[in-house]
Amino acid sequence: MSSGLDGDLYLQGRGLLLAPGFFGMEGPAITSFNAPQPALIYPAATGQMLHRLALSATAVPPWTMEPPQIATALAALLGHTRSAVLVTIAQQPGCSNTQLAAMVGVTKASASEHATTLRRAGLIHTVRDRNRALHSPTHVGLDLLNTAYMRP
Question: pLDDT tens digits, residue range 68-122?
Answer: 455 677 888 888 899 999 989 988 888 999 999 999 999 999 999 999 999 999 9
Task: Give the pLDDT band (50/70/90) at residue 1.
Answer: very low
Interstrand relation of 124-129 and 95-96 (parallel, antiparallel or unpaired) = unpaired
Mean of pLDDT values over 47-57: 46
Q: Which of 22-26, 34-38, 97-101, 143-147 is predicted with the least confidence, judged by mean pLDDT?
A: 22-26
pLDDT band, very low/low/confident/very high, at 35 (cuts 50, 70, 90): low
Q: What is the mean pLDDT of the chain?
A: 75
Domains present along the chain, CATH in parentheses: 17-58 (no CATH), 62-150 (1.10.10.10)
Rounded to two decimals, what is the model's pTM? 0.56
